[in-house]
């Protein structure tokens, strides 16, 4: 992968929510590959919408968004979302076993050629986010909100996406669980995964260069 090519480029992008609330107003900025990007801003400013624009869950009204040098409109949505994984703030967990939930991405066509992790690997991964007491045969529907949030994160991590779009992934967690999730995400970033994360809790990863973005009143401010 050519790291000279930006991960994402926004060129004169505008987006208005339901034609009323301005989220982006002719904004241009660049996110480099391998960056750890923290998105901040007041409630309702459009932080979640910004993530959704980056994997085509929303479409820019004007301007262009590029991923790895190609306009998002040229990407097949399924292939784009294989590389650019999005975790919404309130996870949707089906009434299946923890094992089946974690392996769900491997049943998608774009991931079918990838090797599925073993039960041992899955159980070790659960331990990394303070879910040692959860067994693979347990029902996902019986998990707490914080456990569901962590399980959803592990589910999108397993296929190895190039980019993680995280919408407040620790909002339902206690301080110790939050620390474990932060460490796991920072570790993936150190391995080369680009992280774009919305946060309100003042989190700054250790030993990782951080790029901060503030979005407010249709404008984006970038601080490296």
Domains of the chain: total: 1
- Examine residue 157 and state whether it is found in any structural domain, yes or no: yes
Asked if residue 201 belongs to a domain, the reply is yes
pLDDT in tens, the chain (224 residues): 556 799 999 999 999 987 778 999 999 999 999 999 999 999 889 999 999 999 999 999 999 999 999 999 999 998 899 899 999 888 888 899 999 999 998 888 777 788 899 999 999 999 999 999 999 999 998 999 889 999 999 999 999 999 999 998 888 888 888 888 888 999 999 999 999 999 876 777 777 889 999 999 999 998 76
Domain assignment present for 78: yes
Residue 149 belongs to domain with CATH number: 3.40.50.300
Structural domain boundaries enclosing 118:
8-223
| Domain annotation covers residue 2 | no
3-class SS string, the chain: CCCCCCCEEEEEEEEEECCCEEEEEEEEEEECCCCEEEEECCCCCCHHHHHHHHCCCCCCCEEEEEECCEEHHHCCHHHHHHHEEEECCCCCCCCCEHHHHHHHHHHCHHHCCCCCCCHHHHHHHHHHCCCCCCCCCCEHHHCCHHHHHHHHHHHHHCCCCCEEEEECCCCCCCHHHHHHHHHHHHHHHHCCCEEEEECCCCCCCCCCCEEEEEEECCEEEEEC
């Amino acid at each position: 992968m050519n790291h000279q090519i930006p991960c994402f480029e926004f060129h004169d992008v505008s987006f208005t929510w339901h034609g009323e609330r301005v989220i982006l107003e002719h904004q241009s900025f660049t996110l480099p590959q391998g960056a750890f990007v923290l998105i901040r801003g007041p409630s309702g400013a459009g932080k979640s919408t910004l993530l959704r624009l980056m994997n085509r869950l929303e479409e820019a009204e004007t301007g262009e968004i590029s991923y790895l040098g190609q306009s998002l409109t040229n990407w097949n949505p399924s292939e784009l979302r294989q590389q650019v994984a999005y975790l919404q703030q309130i996870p949707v967990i089906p009434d299946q076993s923890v094992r089946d939930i974690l392996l769900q991405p491997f049943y998608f066509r774009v991931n079918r050629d990838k090797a599925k992790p073993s039960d041992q690997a899955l159980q070790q991964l659960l331990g990394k986010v303070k879910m040692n007491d959860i067994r693979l045969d347990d029902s996902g529907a019986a998990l707490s909100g914080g456990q569901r949030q962590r399980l959803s994160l592990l589910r999108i991590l397993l296929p190895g996406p190039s980019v993680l779009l995280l919408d407040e992934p620790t909002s339902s967690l206690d301080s110790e669980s939050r620390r474990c999730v932060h460490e796991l995400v920072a570790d993936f970033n150190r391995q080369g995964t680009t992280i774009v994360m919305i946060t309100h809790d003042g989190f700054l990863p250790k030993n990782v260069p951080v790029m901060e973005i503030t979005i407010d009143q249709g404008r984006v401010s970038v601080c490296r």
